[in-house]
Amino acid sequence: MLKAERVDFIHRRLHELYPEPPVPLDHRDPYTLLVAVLLSAQCTDERVNQVTPTLFDRADDPGAMTELTVEEIRSIIRPCGLSPQKSKAIATLSRMLIDEHGGEVPADMEALERLPGVGHKTAGVVMAQAFGVPAFPVDTHIHRLSQRWGLTSGRSVARTERDLKRLFPRESWNRLHLQIIFYGREFCTARGCDGRVCEICRTCYPNRKHPKKTRKA
């Protein structure tokens, strides 16, 4: 199967499986999404969704969050892991949003990436899911599957993002980002598929004899 044929099949099959994929992190607005995505670093979405109701009942906007101490934030988000760093980042970015952006989350990649605890992937998720701006944030699922499906060499997350943006239509990026994540969790997991097991891997590479070795993100 040629690369163009793989791209077409993957795009079509993912849309059949997940026509309207939901945003997996519970949130109320751009600010709560930003905080939830920050918390999801090295943590499952399920765990984040268990923690954020308590946090957002206490503070669901930058002003209210700055009324909490870092230790109060940390005590709530502790189950998410990395709570010392994450609590400081949440407190500091909330103050920055007030001081520099009128208390609003900026719909701008560079401005988002200047916030503490907000890397390129987190900024991309917020741009895509909060503001509807086309982005293709690459997480571990997307990085792994893109290699298994022959869409990228996987030399870096940045390279994977560039390759995916080049292969798929811009208007599909936000939906595809979620579709690939859901497929990776359900069918093409790190241990459940080695590049020869799931439907898409088998269809893209029916003659693959050996496990596909992938580069880590």
Question: Among all residues, which ones are annotated catalytic?
Answer: 121, 139
Contacts of 200 (CB under 8 A, 6+ apart): 9, 10, 13, 145, 149, 183, 187, 188
Radius of gyration of the chain (CA): 18
Of 111, 115, 17, nearest to 62 by C-alpha is 115
Q: Tell me, what amino acid is at 85?
A: Q
Q: Any idea of the CA torsion for 177, 181, 184, 189, to the nearest 10 degrees?
A: 130
Instruction: Classify residue 13 by burial, with Cβ atoms within 10 Å: 0-12, 13-18, 19+.
Output: middle
Helix (H, G, I), strand (E, B) or coil at 43: coil
